[in-house]
Amino acid sequence: MNATRTGRATVRTGRATVAVAAAVVLSFTSAGFANGATGAVPRDHGEDEITVGIKYDQPGIGLKTPDGTYTGFDVDVATYIAKELGHDPSDIVWKEAKSADRETLLQRGDVDFIAASYSINDERAKKVDFAGPYLLAHQDVLIRADDDSIKQPSDLNNKKLCSVTGSTSAQNVKDKIAPDAQLQEYGGYSECLTGLENGVIDALTTDDSILAGYAAQSQFKDKFKLAGFKMSNENYGIGVQKGSELKAKINTALEKMVADGSWDAAVKKNFGPANYQNEPAPEIGVVVK
């Protein structure tokens, strides 16, 4: 082959290599945008974006609505924090953080921080760091608004008590408070609510903040009430990677949120319809045992 043909072949080969490389880059870029549409954006996203883990299925706390928007107290708290970190709401990429996945999401770097009814405890603190707490919740029960038979925790004896499959809340009641309670485990809280509404069960138990969020839905207006038993302390924290400098920055943001009244406004907005008697904003860095 002469020099001219060799040169042309080299050019063609070079162009082919560039084309393949471009296709690979385009493929990864397209995948990034596709993931972004579902909220699962890789951690090497745009420099202005911030990825936040929330619950998708807890009304009043963290809920992805059918139209693709996000609502709830944790969403409002996370949006405020993101603003204080220099991000507009449009910069936030929301990612579902199921209870069993939260530590993994943080350790793997899939999210920048998590606000997902994430109770601070010693076991979790071995794996991740927590800013906050930003809300003190309690285990409680939700009952029908016209039910006057459950006035104290021991009244749950011989009552049908519902929680979701795998939850420790109902078992805690049976083990420590009302040993004769009849446990009913359903697949989700919505199923428990339907059973409560229809009289198939007598009480639903989990964190009072979660119960208030469900009861605040328009379709359940005036149908349920919180018993106000405060059977445990649940300190909700913002989860970050172990050793992350975000912890201090988020604590500063939370302090500002409380001081300027935004925290109270978010509580009223998300829990007010259920007459939720929330605790005052907790002191940052102080976990109530």
Q: What is the pLDDT of residues 65-79, one digit of tens each?
A: 999 999 999 999 999
Please state the domain count of the chain. 3
Residue 256: exposed, middle, or buried by beta-carbon count in 10 A (0-12, 13-18, 19+)? middle
Residues 143 and 65 in one domain: no
For strands 129-137 and 57-58, give the pairing: unpaired
pTM for the full predicted model: 0.78
Residue 282 has pLDDT above 90, yes or no: yes
Q: How confident is the model at residue 5 (pLDDT cuts 50, 70, 90)?
A: very low
Residues 124 and 266 in one domain: yes
Residues 222 and 266 in one domain: no
What pLDDT is attached to residue 188?
A: 81
Chain mean pLDDT for the chain: 85
Q: What is the CATH number of the domain that holds 88?
A: 3.40.190.10
Residue 186 has pLDDT above 70, yes or no: yes
Residue 7 has pLDDT above 60, yes or no: no
Residues 130 and 149 in one domain: no
Residues 110 and 167 in one domain: no
Residues 200 and 263 in one domain: no
- DSSP β-bridge partners for residue 162: 184, 204
Residues 185 and 214 in one domain: yes
Q: Looking at the domain assignment, is residue 187 inside a domain?
A: yes
Q: In angstroms, what CA-CA distances link 94 with 53, 115, 124, 206?
A: 6, 11, 22, 24
Residues 125 and 149 in one domain: no
Q: What is the pLDDT of residues 196-220, one digit of tens each?
A: 999 999 999 999 999 999 888 888 8
4: containing domain: 1-33
Q: Looking at the domain assignment, is residue 69 inside a domain?
A: yes
Residues 109 and 143 in one domain: no
Residues 127 and 241 in one domain: yes
Q: What is the pLDDT of residues 236-261, one digit of tens each?
A: 999 999 999 999 999 999 999 999 99
Residues 6 and 61 in one domain: no
What pLDDT is attached to residue 25?
A: 36
Q: Pick the closest to residue 114 from 194, 55, 168 (CA basis).
A: 55
Residue 44 has pLDDT above 60, yes or no: no
Q: What is the pLDDT of residues 124-169, one digit of tens each?
A: 999 999 999 999 999 999 999 999 999 999 999 999 999 887 677 8
Q: Looking at the domain assignment, is residue 263 inside a domain?
A: yes
Residues 128 and 239 in one domain: yes
Q: Looking at the domain assignment, is residue 74 inside a domain?
A: yes
